[in-house]
Amino acid sequence: MLSNSNNELISRVGPGTSMGNLLRRFWVPALLEEEIAEPDSPPVRLRLFGEDLVAFKDSDGEVGILDEHCRHRQVSLYFGRNEECGLRCVYHGWKFDVQGNCVDMPSEPNPSKSLMAKAKLQAYPTALRGGVVWVYMGPADKMPQLPAFEWSNLPPMHRIATKRKQHNNWAQAVEGGIDSAHISYLHSKIDPDHPVNEGLPGRGQGGDRHPVFDVRDVDYGLLIAARRDLDAANYYYRITQFLLPFYTMIPGPVRKAPDEDIYYGGHAWVPIDDDSTWTWSFGVRAGRPFTEKEHAFMGGKDGYWGPVDDEYNSLHKAENDYLMDRDVQAVGNYTGIRGIPNQDAAVQESMGSIVDRSRELLGHSDTAIIKLIQMAQDLEKGIEPAAPHYGEWYNVRSVSVNLERDTDWVEGAKPYFPGTAMKVAAE
């Protein structure tokens, strides 16, 4: 059980907080490139870790993420004009480049160098990778590496990135992602052929509702096996990862051979502030591109991770009980709510925006939370986290696989993992 002070520590992410400082040591997904697709396209608002920001792509295709408020009179630069390599405030025309430098101050006839320097806005380094704009909001002298997720280096038709807003603290969403036991209930089907289950992966093998967990502490986070009984000779393993500080991996359908169609997904839960979170979802097809139909289903605003509106708010929300249908709950799926992401949001938001962990009875999924608390406390003492500086650690895959009962799962699953995953796990 976690104490109230730890509950406070894990939840608070604003500037100067322990957890906020830790999370700011990493590159984080900030927005989809589609939101600012073209040079000189309109700027967008962005709130991350309790900071109000504005993002834009300049005439040269460089992305700027700046403090939202103009240094002159604090007007929102969301209303700004994105023109000729800078964002110009509409109030008196001060103009800022992607580094936050004030490059024009038309309201001042002869601005001194020191006034121009003082007018510099807070700007954060950005990077474009995998259709995502990444941002680094930590100290300049602690610049990390970008996480080398497989999807982030694949061509567009091999990958999908989506986001949706969730109205609860980031940490309880992370826990939900790690807690693989819930798929046997929350996401289970009553009649797999019912229309509510259309487009979802096959019947699955989650029938054994008593998974046995084996959690390995690894450099990038945790490697987690959920073992279920399959038949007299075999177990069904669902092997997932938690990667620091807020990523999880989701395996696709059971694979029979390492070179069989490689399909898996992942999440990132990026704090908007203490009470709300961007839920990112990623899809990967490493062996072949997605078909147009698959890509539209998994990636579109109306698709699997939606439906969402133009601001990436889910149309299934607390105010409408996530469009739950009691008749569907009786005969179709376990919740009566359409779509796995909506089912997750319903349970996680219903816990309250910041769940009181001192009242919970926790299971193994708190391992990740305890690890994060430890790292935040270490950082307070000046011990820097290692993971931000090893981008390659993030090049891992999750997998569902059936293995003979007497096979060691780490050995048995090894051929299904590329890169560093198993090397790290074996240490």
The residue ranges that bind Fe ion (CB under 5 A) are 344
Which of 72, 167, 187, 216 is close enough to bind ligand FES by CB under 6 A? 72
Is there binding between residue 104 and ligand FES (CB under 6 A)? no
User: If you ran DSSP here, which 8-state letter would residue 201 be given?
Assistant: -
- Alpha-carbon distance of 345 to 165, in angstroms, equals 10
Q: Using CB under 6 A, count the residues that bind ligand FES.
A: 9
Among 177, 233, 246, 238, which Cα is nearest to 207's?
A: 238
Q: Cβ closer to ligand FES: 81 or 129? A: 81
- The answer to the question of residue 70 lying near ligand FES (CB under 6 A) is yes
Alpha helices by DSSP H, listed for 256-387, are 292-299, 326-331, 340-350, 366-380
Neighbours of 283 (CB within 10 A): 25
CA distance 50 to 36: 21
Pairing of strands 212-218, 123-124: unpaired
- Residue 121: CB minimum distance to ligand FES, A: 10
CA atoms of 399 and 236, how far apart (whole Å): 11
Binder of residue 344, out of Fe ion, ligand FES, none (CB less than 5 to 8 A by kind): Fe ion
CB 261 within 8 A of CB 238: no
Residue from 13, 28, 89, 354 in contact with ligand FES (CB under 6 A): 89
Q: How many helices (H) and strands (E) does the chain have?
A: 10, 19
Q: Which is nearer to ligand FES, 90 or 286 (CB)?
A: 90
Task: Find the shortest distance in angstroms from Cβ 187 to Fe ion.
Answer: 6
Q: Which stretch binds ligand FES (CB under 6 A): 51-59, 65-73, 121-129, 404-412?
A: 65-73
Nearer to Fe ion, 273 or 344 (CB): 344
CB of residue 67 to ligand FES, shortest distance in Å: 12
Q: Which stretch binds ligand FES (CB under 6 A): 85-93, 192-200, 236-244, 249-257?
A: 85-93
Inter-residue contact 88 to 40 (CB < 8 Å):
no
Question: For residue 6, what is the enclosing H or E element?
Answer: helix 4-11
Q: Which does 75 bind (CB under 5 to 8 A by kind): ligand FES, Fe ion, none?
A: ligand FES
Long-range contacts (CB closer than 8 Å, 24 or more residues apart) made by 334-340: 334/185, 334/186, 334/187, 334/188, 334/189, 334/190, 335/186, 338/196, 339/304, 339/306, 340/187, 340/200, 340/304
**Binding test (CB under 6 A) with ligand FES, winner from 45, 81, 92, 389:** 92
Measured from the CB atom, is 344 or 349 closer to Fe ion? 344
Identify which of residues 150 and 175 has a Cβ nearer to Fe ion in the complex.
175
Q: What minimum distance in Å lies between the beta carbon of 83 and ligand FES?
A: 14
- Of 89 and 375, which CB lies nearer to ligand FES in the complex structure? 89
What are the residues binding ligand FES (CB under 6 A)?
Answer: 70, 72-73, 75, 89, 91-94
